[in-house]
Amino acid sequence: MRIAIAGGGPGGLYLAALMKQLDPAHEITVWERNAPDDTFGFGVVFSDETLGSIEGADTVIHDEMARRFARWTDIDIDVNGHSFTVGGQGFAAMSRKDLLRLLQQRVADLGVTVHYETDAPDADELRATHDLVVAADGVNSRIRTKYADTFAPALDHRANKYIWLGTDLVFEAFQFFVKQTEWGTMQIHGYPYSADGSTFIVEMHEDVWRRAGFDATEGETLPPGTSDSHAVEKIKEIFAAELAGHDVLTNNSKWLNFTTVRNQHWHDRNVVLLGDAAHTAHFSIGSGTKLAMEDALALAACLHEHPTLAAALQAYETERKPVVESTQRAAQASLEWFENIGMYAGQDPAQFCFNLLTRSRRITFENLKERDSEFAHRIESAFAATAGSTQSVPAMFQPVDIGPLRLKNRIIVSPMDMYSATDGVADDFHLVHLGSKALGGAGLVMTEMVCVSPEARITLGCTGLWNDEQRDAYRRLTDFVHTRSTAKVGVQLGHSGRKGSTRLMWDGMDQPLPEGNWEVIGPSALPYAPGCHVPREATRTDLDQVKADFIAAAERAVAAGFDLVEVHAAHGYLLSSFLSPIANKRTDEYGGDLSHRLRFPLEVFDAVRAVVPGRIPVTVRISATDWAPDGNTEHDAVEIARAFIEHGAAAIDVSSGQVTGEEKPAYGRSYQTPFADRIRQTVAAGVKVIAVGAISSYDDVNSILLAGRADLCALGRTHLYDPQWTLHAAAEQDYRGAAAAWPIQFQAGSRRPPTARTDKIPPRLALLRQQADENVHLRWTPRNDQAVLRNAQAVPRNAQAIPRNDRAAEA
C-alpha cells in the first residue's frame, strides 16, 4: 500500500512504525508541519493496558518507553490545607519530547519517509495518489474540516480556562491541589514524567479566571511558541506555597478552553481519522497521546487482518468508536465536575476527596476499597458520623429522615407505571408487585403515578385515588407493607396532562387511544410529539378543578395509610408541562418566565401540603432538564427546586426529560445524578435529594451517597429484575442488621448460596504477603533512576523510604 499520514505526532508516527513492520513493502510518507524538536506540553501518561498492547506490537518502542518511565500508584490530594493520599491506582508517564524522539528514530530506522516543517498536500491530491490517507493532524484537523459533510464533526467548546505548564518540582505521585482563593476555586492537575520535572496544569472557571485578572492578555495574539508571561508570574504568586520555591516551566503555554471533538463517522472511502482529529477527551481522565496510540494499534491490526481496505476501516471504526465514546462519557463527567468544582467548597475535606476521585464514575467505592482499604474505611466512617451513626456500615444501610419520616435505609423503589388497573383500582397484581419490593428490603416503596381523576390517567390501565373504592384497595396494600415488612410506602400523585388518553405501553407508548378517548388539557395547545393528542389549553375553571382533584386524592392517600406523598411534576405530565417553556406558551399569569411557570405547580403543591398532616412528608419529583433546545436546563432545575423547598417540600426527587418527543437525552450510567448533585450542593440544605436514573449496582449507590451527590437513591428497573435487590446487596456486602432485615419466613435463604467448592485450603502465607503489600504505596522518588517504596502509614509524604528487601526494590 501507499500510505499518506498527515501529522507526525505520536499517533501518526506509531502507525507508520507498525505498518512498516507488518509489511516493509508499504510505502509510507508522513508530513509534519512542525520541526522534529518542536512539541507542546510536557508529559504523557499511559495505562498498564495500553502498555501491554504496545509491548505486544513493538517491543523496541515499548522497551525504550519503559526505560524512561516514571511509575507510581498514589494520588495525593491537597484541599484547603488538608492532605490525603490514596494508593493502588497505577500510573506510568514519560516526557512527551522523549516519546517523540524515540518514535522519530524508530520510523527513521524502519525506512519511513517523514517531511518535517512541511504541510501535507491537499487531501484530494493525497487520496488520488495513495491507497490510504490517515488524518492524524490534530484537534484542528484540516482534512476533517475539508470533509466535514461526511465525518459530521461536533466540537464542544467548554467554559473552563486551563494552561499547560511544567515545573522542576518532581511530584511523587499524581497530584491535585485545590485552592480556595479570594477570586474562587482554582485547581492544579500534576504528575511526574521524569527525574527532573512534572506536568503542572492550572484550571479554573472562566468567572474565577476573570476575577483574578488572568484576562489581562485576552486581547493579545501571542505568536507560536510564546508563552503568557503575565499568567506565569501570577500563577507563581498564587501557588507559591505549593511550588515550594521551585520554578514554573513554559512551552507555548497560554490559556486555552478545552474542546471535545466527536465525529459521527471516522472514515470515508480511503480517508480515515486518527487521534485528536477523530476525538478528544478531557485531560483529567486520559491522555490524548494514549488514545491516539491505541487508535494506531487498532488501525494497523485491522488493516493487517482484513482483505479489503473498506472492511478494514469499518472494522477499525467498529472496534474503536465505542471504546472512545465510553472514555468520552467519563471525561465529560469529569470535566463538568471540574467546571462546577466551586459547588463543593463547603464539603468536608474527606468527602470532597472521595467526590473528586469518583467524579467520572469509572472509579467507585468498591474500586477504592480494593486499592486502598484504609482510605475506604476512613470515608465510610466519616459518612456514618454525619449520619449520626456509630456503626461503620455500607452507606446505603445508614438510616435517613425525610422530614419527620425515618427510613431504615437509603434505597427507594422508584415509581413505575404498570398499566394494569381496572377502573383505576389497584388489585392483587399491585399488592404482589409492591409487596414483594417491600419484603425485598427497600427503605421506601413508591407507587406508580396515581391519577387524581379519570381524565388525569395516562392510559386506561392507570391506578387512581378519585373514589373510595380505590382508597380502600390501596389501604389493603399499605396494611400489608406495614404488617409484613419494616419498609415505608409512599404514593405519587399526578395528572397526565397532554400525555393522557393513550394506549398501554406495550400497545404503543404515547400513541392516542383508537377509541374511548377523553379530552386532554395542557398549559398550551401543543402536542407532546407529532401524532399525539393536541391538548386544549386549560382554562381557569380547569385549573381549579385539577387543584381540587389533587386535594381530594391527597386526603384519600392519607386515609389509605401512606407514609409519604409525592407530587409528580416531572416527565411532561401536567405540572411538568407548566414548568417547561417548550410546552407552556401561555400569556397569562401562568406563562412567561420561570417564576410565572412555577405558579400553578406551586399552587397544587401548597394545596396538597395543606391537607396532608405534618407527620407525613410531602415531596416533589421534577425533570431537571428537558434535553431539548429552548427547554429547561439544570440551572432552571435549581430554581425550581428552590421554589418547592421554600413551599415546604421535604425532598426533591430529581429525574429528567420526557417533556417533549424531540428530546435527545445523554444516557449513561447514573446519568441523572449530576442534576441531583447540583441541587443538593446549591439549594437543598436540610432537605433531602433523591438521585434516580440508570443506577443499578450497590457500588454505584454507595459511591453516590459517600460523595454527597444525593441523600437517597431510587431504583426502578433494577427492582423489576430482582425484587429482593436490597437484601441481596446486603448479603453481597456481608451486612446484617436492621436496615436489611430478612422477613422471618425468608431467613433460611439469607446467606449467599455456595457457587463453587468450599473445601479448598487458601495459601495462608500468600495471604499474609498480600495483606502486607496492600499497605505499601509506590511513589516516584527518583534516585538512581528508579522509584522507591514507602509505607504510607509510617513515612511522611515527602520523606524517602529505603526498600526493606530485594523483593520490595524489584516491585
What positions carry a catalytic annotation? Answer: 573
Alpha-helical segments (H) within 229-347: 229-238, 240-243, 288-305, 309-339
- Residue 372 · residue 87 · CB < 8 Å: yes
Query: Residue 267: what residue type?
Result: H
Bridge partners of residue 155, in order along the sequence: 261
CA–CA distance, 594 with 605 (Å, rounded to integer): 16
DSSP class of residue 516 equals S
Rg, C-alpha atoms of the chain? 30
Alpha-helical segments (H) within 89-212: 96-110, 123-129, 142-146, 148-151, 206-211
Distance of CA 49 to the CA centre of its chain: 22
CA–CA distance, 712 with 778 (Å, rounded to integer): 36
Count other Cβ atoms within 10 Å, centred on residue 399.
15
- Residue 296 · residue 18 · CB < 8 Å: yes
H or E element at residue 366: helix 365-371
CA–CA distance, 462 with 83 (Å, rounded to integer): 54
Count other Cβ atoms within 10 Å, centred on residue 373.
15
CA–CA distance, 90 with 52 (Å, rounded to integer): 13
- CA distance readout (Å), 373 to 176, 234, 385, 764, 771: 21, 39, 18, 20, 10
Report the relative pairing of strands 174-181 and 256-263 from DSSP bridges.
Answer: unpaired
Distance of CA 392 to the CA centre of its chain: 26
CA–CA distance, 4 with 120 (Å, rounded to integer): 9
CA–CA distance, 636 with 439 (Å, rounded to integer): 38
Nearest to 679 by CA among 625, 711, 642, 632: 642
- Residue 239 · residue 188 · CB < 8 Å: yes
CA–CA distance, 449 with 621 (Å, rounded to integer): 11
Helix 96-110 with 59-68: angle, nearest 10 deg: 160
CA–CA distance, 73 with 587 (Å, rounded to integer): 60
Question: Which DSSP string do the residues of 78-121 spell out, in sequence order?
Answer: EETTEEEEE----EEEEEHHHHHHHHHHHHHHHT-EEEET-PPP
CA–CA distance, 525 with 547 (Å, rounded to integer): 20
Nearest to 284 by CA among 360, 198, 354: 360
Mention every residue, 6+ apart, whose C-beta is less than 8 A from residue 147. Answer: 123, 268, 271
- CA distance readout (Å), 623 to 381, 422, 653, 658, 692: 33, 29, 9, 8, 11
Say which residue the cell 441531583 belongs to.
676
- Residue 106 · residue 60 · CB < 8 Å: yes
CA–CA distance, 805 with 701 (Å, rounded to integer): 41
Query: Residue 211: what residue type?
Result: R
- CA distance readout (Å), 450 to 258, 459, 564, 626: 46, 11, 13, 23
The number of residues making up the chain comes to 811
- Residue 409 · residue 726 · CB < 8 Å: yes
Distance of CA 186 to the CA centre of its chain: 21
CA–CA distance, 114 with 6 (Å, rounded to integer): 10
DSSP class of residue 752 equals P
